[in-house]
Structure 1
Amino acid sequence: MKFLLVASFASSLIGFRKPLIIALLERGLEVHVAAPELLDNQIVITELTELGVIPHSISMQRTGINPIADTKALISLYTLMREIEPDYMMGYTIKPVIYGTLAAWLARVPKRFALITGLGFAFTAEDDTKRKHVRAVAQGLYRSALRHCQVVFFQNYDDEALFRQLNIVSSKTRTCVISGSGVDVEEFDVVPFDTQKPLRFLLIARLLGDKGVREYNQAAQQVKKLHPEVQFDLVGGLDANPTSITQGELDEWIKAGTVNFLGRLKDVRPAIQASSVYVLPSYREGTPRTVLEAMAMGRAIITTDAPGCRETVVDGDNGFLVPVKDVDALVQAMLRFIEQPALIAQMGQRARIIAEEKYDVHKVNAHMISEMELE
């Protein structure tokens, strides 16, 4: 039996789906993976082939709406599926879900699954003209594709409810909510932070407005006026997304000394280890992987009361929830940790327990495999 996993980022196959791939292999499936320019990424190829996975490159632009390019993606996926004849197919992120599912249906792949890892640019609350257009197109394409799925997986109940409300997923389609992508609680083990050093906040994200990066910088500016010794680390890179932070903005933040920019990191564990509190002021997520990693390493969390984010924090237990875009509330949450440092270790311990009980990647994958009837 063959299983095809379709991604929009080659590196995500290792960074986010490796435990799932291993779980599929352990059940005797022949696993194929496909992503744009995958065969050009020697590091990812080496790791995949060592596992016994068969890699394929496909034609796909990750962002933007381009009918010609998107048609090429559909044809590329259809051709691949006719060639390898998978028994199961799953796509994750918007274009692999839409074009992967449609191609699988056209190629008569028997079992088709979709993993909605977040709704991104099109579904955040902004109502500018461009976003409205993208939202309308995305809804139509999702609706066309998801009616051909046996199971649609969501990472939070808000996204599932929204898709039902907008009739993107019909009443006839089976859905399942899972606890995000999970986290390897052995790989991301607890590392105590140094209580003798100044408190350090950390944000790891693509540098997008929708991730709350600007709010993080604004909060840092305010807190530093009261506590100049406190540090604000920022990990991530610029992106082609329409809401991306500009290089000029980032340069200004660095020059002002507001944030300590660490760039893109292949391994984020040293940054989490150096931090005291993890912060993600995102406008909307599926389930934020970086929050789960920080929780597993015993870090208290500040995040927004937004879809995907609110699932990870019990307010006042393992961290604090703040309203979306509310810089003042974000500042107040930061000040509570600064003024009551005992909360950091206390909430960090609770975060680790929640990570073990709810977000262990092996539990999450077992749930998915059961729903796909692959046991």
Structure 2
Amino acid sequence: MPGREPMMPAARSKIIVSTNTSWNVVNFRKGLIEALQSHGYDVVIVAPRDEYTSLISAMGCRYVELEMDNSGMSPLRDMALLWRFWRLLRHERPLAFVGFTIKPNVFGSIAANLNGVPVINNISGLGTAFVRGGLLLRIAKALYRVALARSKMVFFQNDDDRTLFVIGNLVRKEQTGLLPGSGIDLVRFTPSSEARTNPGAIVFLLVARLLWDKGVGEFIEAARLVRQKMPGVRFQLLGFLDVENRTAVSRQHVEQWVGEGLIEYLGTTDDVRPFLRAADCVVLPSYREGTPRSLLEAAAMGKPLITTDVPGCREVVDHAINGFLCKARDTDDLASKMIEFAMMDDASRGRMGVEGRNKVERQFSETIVIAKYMQQIEKLDGLAAKE
């Protein structure tokens, strides 16, 4: 691959935003994209093609398809991805490359560095490698160390993740900043004044990609324990099956649980609000997160939460105030917190929901996230104008 060569001045109005799916752009980055456009920037979306790609043009963005092997570790495919990023950035010459998810953050950042393009990264979560460890973790750390070396800003979604990267010499602390997750649209996600359609049965809902690392197994086993004492309680799963991930829950497992009458599988949706509205409590027994959007959306809608006392999750829940924290990978503790919640009176559950909404308003509004991004972009714009 050619090394870094002198380039013509960057087009100050162009920002490349890259992530591993078009779905991610449409569902999580719309507010940021609209803010960039309102400030006069030309936003180019770089992502693999999927069923959500057609919606990107409606956002007023130019779309560039870039194939990625999101779950694979093939050196040849990753080198090909690096080359495609390098060629694209060489052609586009943007003011900045803004990366989300692992492959764009690693290979897009390296390609941007080779082209002299400033980089802003978002490390929204550490993924399977950091949860499982081993050789995969050593490879991931080596790649991040190279990719982030010259980034102008590396945003993290919790201080535990940032500290892990700083102590591991993957990034310098002065390069880093903290974001309150992806930010929540407080108008779109708001408490409902309508009564639930089935107020007699407590409903626990888990919203996530169906991965074992999200604590799906613990949720199922806790459901068995709770049902022994409280047979009327309902348990629901909402999220993608058949995801490309080595920790994915199989469709066979889900069908077995549904067949037992243990859970209701709700499939997938582009609008989680009706499902959140119909639940009493949203549960996420994850092993580690960035800042889980499912919990923030639920809290914004006034729903109490139960989640694990791990990085990313603990930031969203103040124990016994807007929900409960439980031990990670501990089915008994999770079940005990569910039972405790189910035995609360309606007024106490309602107060938890109000506290959750207040917390999201204070700490996790989308406006906070957008302001931090715009500050970094405008700083780069100012530097480019002086050159």
TM over 0.5: yes
Partners of 2:152 and 2:20 in 1: CA distance: 21
- Percent identity, aligned pairs only, is 37
Matched position secondary structure for 1:2: strand
Matched position secondary structure for 1:56: strand
Amino acid at match of 1:145: A
Partners of 2:104 and 2:88 in 1: CA distance: 13
Tell me the CA shift for residue 373 of structure 1.
3.3
1:3 pairs, out of 7, 15, 24, with 15
Q: Structure 2: which 5+ residue stretches go unaligned?
A: 1-12, 382-387
Task: Tell me, yes or no, if structure 1 residue 198 matches structure 2 residue 201.
Answer: yes
Tell me the CA shift for residue 165 of structure 1.
1.1
- 1:218 maps to which residue? 221
Partners of 2:70 and 2:170 in 1: CA distance: 21
- 2:59 maps to which residue? 51
Partners of 2:106 and 2:345 in 1: CA distance: 46
- 2:264 maps to which residue? 260
Residue by residue over 1:284-338, the C-alpha shift from the partner in whole angstroms, topping out at 9 and shown as x without a partner, is: 0000000010001000000010010000011111011111011111111111111
- 1:16 maps to which residue? 28
More moved, 248-257 vs 291-300 = 248-257
Question: Given that residues 59 and 72 in structure 1 are in contact (C-alpha distance below 8 angstroms), is that contact kept between their aligned partners in structure 2?
Answer: no
Question: Given that residues 60 and 72 in structure 1 are in contact (C-alpha distance below 8 angstroms), is that contact kept between their aligned partners in structure 2?
Answer: no
Query: Equivalences for 1:54-203 in 2 at 5 Å?
Result: 54-109=62-117, 111-124=118-131, 126=132, 131-171=133-173, 173-192=174-193, 193-194=195-196, 196-203=199-206
Matched position secondary structure for 1:140: helix
Deviating above 6 A after TM superposition, structure 1's stretches of 4 or more consecutive aligned residues are none
Tell me the CA shift for residue 267 of structure 1.
1.1
Amino acid at match of 2:18: V
Matched position secondary structure for 2:94: coil
- 2:233 maps to which residue? 230
Partners of 1:337 and 1:170 in 2: CA distance: 42
- Paired residue total: 364
Partners of 2:199 and 2:254 in 1: CA distance: 30
- 2:6 maps to which residue? none
Amino acid at match of 1:35: A
Partners of 1:212 and 1:99 in 2: CA distance: 29
Partners of 1:170 and 1:61 in 2: CA distance: 29
Query: What TM-score, normalized by structure 2, do the two folds share?
Result: 0.91
Partners of 2:129 and 2:142 in 1: CA distance: 12
Partners of 2:88 and 2:43 in 1: CA distance: 14
Partners of 1:281 and 1:205 in 2: CA distance: 10
Matched position secondary structure for 2:245: coil
Q: Structure 1: which 5+ residue stretches go unaligned?
A: none
Partners of 1:344 and 1:85 in 2: CA distance: 53
Partners of 2:72 and 2:142 in 1: CA distance: 15
1:347 pairs, out of 352, 362, 368, with 352
Tell me the CA shift for residue 236 of structure 1.
1.1
- 1:363 maps to which residue? 368
Task: Tell me, yes or no, if structure 1 residue 30 matches structure 2 residue 42.
Answer: yes
Tell me the CA shift for residue 166 of structure 1.
0.9
Question: Given that residues 151 and 372 in structure 1 are in contact (C-alpha distance below 8 angstroms), is that contact kept between their aligned partners in structure 2?
Answer: no
Tell me the CA shift for residue 364 of structure 1.
1.6
Amino acid at match of 2:121: A
Matched position secondary structure for 1:83: helix
Partners of 1:68 and 1:197 in 2: CA distance: 56
Query: Equivalences for 1:265-280 in 2 at 5 Å?
Result: 265-280=269-284
- 1:312 maps to which residue? 316
More moved, 193-202 vs 87-96 = 193-202
Matched position secondary structure for 1:215: helix
Tell me the CA shift for residue 229 of structure 1.
1.0
- 1:321 maps to which residue? 325
Indicate the RMSD between aligned Cα atoms, in angstroms.
Answer: 1.4
Tell me the CA shift for residue 251 of structure 1.
1.6
Partners of 1:88 and 1:334 in 2: CA distance: 46
Partners of 2:130 and 2:149 in 1: CA distance: 20
Question: Given that residues 120 and 154 in structure 2 are in contact (C-alpha distance below 8 angstroms), is that contact kept between their aligned partners in structure 1?
Answer: yes
1:281 pairs, out of 270, 281, 285, with 285
Question: Given that residues 113 and 150 in structure 2 are in contact (C-alpha distance below 8 angstroms), is that contact kept between their aligned partners in structure 1?
Answer: yes
Question: Given that residues 227 and 233 in structure 2 are in contact (C-alpha distance below 8 angstroms), is that contact kept between their aligned partners in structure 1?
Answer: yes
Residue by residue over 1:239-261, the C-alpha shift from the partner in whole angstroms, topping out at 9 and shown as x without a partner, is: 22111112221121111111110
Question: Given that residues 70 and 244 in structure 2 are in contact (C-alpha distance below 8 angstroms), is that contact kept between their aligned partners in structure 1?
Answer: no
Tell me the CA shift for residue 153 of structure 1.
0.3
Partners of 1:283 and 1:289 in 2: CA distance: 15
Tell me the CA shift for residue 227 of structure 1.
1.2
Matched position secondary structure for 1:310: coil
- 1:250 maps to which residue? 254
Describe the shift of the 1:246–1:50 C-alpha distance in structure 2 as closer, same or farther (beyond 3 A).
closer
- 2:7 maps to which residue? none
